[in-house]
Amino acid sequence: MTALSCMEEDVLRCCGSKRFAKEMVSASPFTDLDHALRSARDIWLNKVDVVGWLEAFAAHPAIGTTSPSVSQWCKEEQSAAMATANDSALQELMEWNSRYREKFGFVFLICASGRGTPEILAELKKRYLNRPIVELEIAAQEEMKITELRLARLFNSDAGSNIPVTTRLPVSSPTKPEDRLGIIGAHIMAIPKVPSSKTTEISGNSHRTRPPITTHVLDVARGSPASGMEVHLEMWKGTQQHPSFTNRESTDWMLIGSSTTNTDGRSGPLMGIVDHITPGFYRISFDTGKYAPSGFFPYVSLVFQVRENQIAEHFHVPLLHSPFSFTTYRGS
């Protein structure tokens, strides 16, 4: 079988997360559709953070939207719903879509293929009662179902072969359900509503004007900001009270957010803007190896603790980097 390759713009037709698209392109070519779908599921659940999830959600029109800007794939996926909807049902669907978005901050997502309007509306009303932590998990799984169908369609079209478009892997969580909810809970700890405008902001009902944890990187060898360095922020979620030198490579570090430094050396938001940060241990990591391939450090990870009596404070953790040394401090 011919290996399956993909371009970033093609993957973005399947899922609106730029991080997801980049990771899929990096993981390709795939030996077959099953390989592609397994890779997609791993990337979506384990490598894309909540900002990427919300970016993907925002690429979807509300169920029942008839705007000319709606993609052909969306129209076909919603065809059963539109075929079974009368004017009153569409009006009720629009009203509940609005209520849902007002409560959760993102569009109601459901894999609509083959589903009529009554079924979709009933599911919307049922899910409206969920807690945000539960609903974000469900929405992410529905996004994965949609993405799987679209990837199958994409590769079927590209390969011109007998790849079954209906092939779908079960969207299972990588951990036990109770652990998975803990991961999602940390993802959305006070994640604010996403504004309806096209300009994405991370803001909310907070007295802060920036996230509790920030960073910037200076290239001291060049005497200038370090632009284009990837930064990850994680939180310790292990069963032990705190991380240690011996378990530094543990999988109990949970990704909160990631970004790339701009021309001023500052990263984008790595977490939401909240008044009180969750106490615990955090790790901020810098991809210094990619930034300076001939340097001594493949990456730099800084671990620090936020104590109970510090939850209202700000933690600025910069990196002063050169090819053969680095330093840091807690700034303001």
Per-position DSSP letters for 129-159, written without gaps between them: TS-HHHHHHHHHHHHHHHHHHHHHHHHHHHH
> Higher confidence at residue 59 or residue 112?
59
Residue at token pair 């909160």: 256
Map 9-68 to HEC letters. Answer: HHHHHHCCCHHHHHHHHHHCCECCHHHHHHHHHHHHHHCCCHHHHHHHHHCCCCCCCCCC
Q: Is residue 203 part of a domain?
A: no
User: Do both 137 and 265 map to the same domain?
Assistant: no
User: Do both 219 and 112 map to the same domain?
Assistant: no
Q: Is residue 316 part of a domain?
A: yes
- Say how far apart CA 309 and CA 248 lie, in whole Å: 25
Is residue 18 within 8 Å of residue 59, measured between CB atoms? no
Question: Band of the pLDDT at 307, cuts 50, 70, 90?
Answer: very high
Q: What are phi and psi of 255, to 5 degrees?
A: -70, 125
- Inform me whether the pLDDT recorded for 180 exceeds 70: no
Q: Is residue 36 part of a domain?
A: yes
Tokens of 8: 């970033």
Provide the CATH number for the domain around residue 261.
Answer: 2.60.40.180
Q: Which of 56-70, 152-166, 316-330 has the lowest mean pLDDT?
A: 152-166
Q: How far is the CA of 22 from the CAs of 42, 49, 80, 138, 216, in angstroms?
A: 14, 13, 32, 24, 24
Split into its structural domains, the chain has a count of 2
Q: Is residue 272 part of a domain?
A: yes
Question: Band of the pLDDT at 200, cuts 50, 70, 90?
Answer: very low
CA torsion through residues 180, 183, 187, 191, sign:
positive
Structural domain containing residue 62:
8-158
User: Do both 17 and 130 map to the same domain?
Assistant: yes
- Say how far apart CA 186 and CA 179 lie, in whole Å: 11
- Inform me whether the pLDDT recorded for 81 exceeds 70: no
User: Do both 147 and 38 map to the same domain?
Assistant: yes
pLDDT digits (tens, 9 = 90+) for 119-132: 888 999 999 998 88
Is residue 20 within 8 Å of residue 154, measured between CB atoms? no
- Inform me whether the pLDDT recorded for 320 exceeds 70: yes
User: Do both 134 and 228 map to the same domain?
Assistant: no
User: Do both 42 and 152 map to the same domain?
Assistant: yes
Give the per-residue pLDDT at 309: 92
Percent of the chain with pLDDT over 70: 76
Q: Which of 4-8, 27-31, 176-180 has the lowest mean pLDDT?
A: 176-180
By annotation, the residues acting in catalysis are 60
Helix (H, G, I), strand (E, B) or coil at 231: strand
Is residue 178 within 8 Å of residue 197, measured between CB atoms? no
> Higher confidence at residue 240 or residue 98?
98
Q: Which of 49-53, 135-139, 167-171 has the lowest mean pLDDT?
A: 167-171
> Higher confidence at residue 238 or residue 288?
288
Q: Could you tell me which residues are annotated as the binding site for substrate?
A: 216, 266, 329
CA nearest 300: which of 285, 317, 289?
A: 285
Provide the CATH number for the domain around residue 121.
Answer: 1.10.3330.10
Question: Band of the pLDDT at 1, cuts 50, 70, 90?
Answer: very low
Tokens of 2: 């011919």
pTM of the entire predicted model: 0.49
- Say how far apart CA 279 and CA 306 lie, in whole Å: 5
Among 158, 181, 203, the domain-final residue is 158
Q: Is residue 199 part of a domain?
A: no
Tokens of 92: 């009720």
